[in-house]
């Protein structure tokens, strides 16, 4: 059974086991419709999947190098990405209709939430101009991707969200060009020498969740002085 609590009027659900992707996608779509109809609260849904690849709306089949795992059409933005055991996936059904209707701000604040969470474990993560995702330096000092961001918005309710490599099998990423970026490797908390359990990572997400929600409630002009 999933572990479910309510935080700031938002359902926070941690799924146990490895949830098949089609089941997660169908449930996410259903929750989006229910939120729009006023029949369900917003939700943060934390999941691990069995090994699989997903393709976004910009996916190029040339970037699917080895179809060793099932490939699913995600319907989100972006290209190919990998999900699997040891990776924390966060699916967010957030109603931007009551939180500023600002998609760029949503993505920016989501990135900040992941970056702040990683900082709890001594990882200096960051955004990178022109490259989607969350980045850090690996143990060789090379810039590497530790987290992915991919979202969709339907009638101002968000779908999909983020993934962070806690301790996945990094060799599974070699079947694709992750997010279309071949120049940089992927890394994980474990590869950086950080012994972090999934439960510990989830607790750190909770610590920084109020700041994430508060960021969505701000209008752009309140933060930067411009529209």
Could you list the active site residues? 179
Residues 6 or more apart from 146 whose CB is under 8 A from it? 118, 123, 125, 134, 135, 136, 164, 165, 186, 187, 188, 189, 192
Hey, CA dihedral for 209, 205, 148, 70, is it positive or negative? negative
Contact 40, 31 (CB under 8 A): yes
Enter the tokens of residue 189: 């908390």
As a whole number of angstroms, the distance between CA 174 and CA 185 comes to: 10
- Structure-token match 């040339």, residue found: 62
């Amino acid at each position: 059974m999933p572990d479910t609590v309510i935080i700031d009027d938002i359902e926070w659900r941690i799924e146990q086991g490895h949830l098949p992707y089609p089941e997660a996608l169908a449930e996410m779509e259903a929750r989006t419709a229910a939120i729009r109809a006023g029949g369900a609260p917003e939700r943060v849904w934390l999941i691990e999947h069995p090994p699989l690849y997903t393709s976004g709306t910009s996916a190029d089949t040339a970037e699917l190098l080895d179809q060793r795992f099932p490939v699913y059409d995600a319907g989100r933005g972006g290209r190919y990405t990998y999900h699997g055991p040891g990776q924390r996936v966060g699916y967010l059904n957030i109603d931007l209709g009551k939180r500023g209707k600002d998609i760029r701000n949503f993505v920016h604040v989501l990135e900040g939430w992941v970056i702040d969470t990683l900082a709890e474990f001594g990882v200096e993560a960051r955004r990178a101009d022109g490259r989607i995702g969350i980045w850090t330096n690996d143990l060789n000092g090379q810039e590497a991707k530790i987290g992915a961001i991919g979202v969709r918005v339907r009638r101002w309710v968000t779908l999909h969200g983020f993934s962070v490599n806690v301790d996945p099998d990094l060799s599974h990423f070699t079947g694709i060009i992750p997010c279309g970026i071949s120049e940089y490797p992927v890394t994980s908390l474990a590869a950086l020498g950080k012994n972090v359990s999934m439960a510990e990572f989830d607790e750190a997400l909770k610590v920084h969740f109020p700041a994430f929600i508060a960021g969505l409630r701000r209008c752009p002009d309140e933060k930067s002085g411009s529209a």
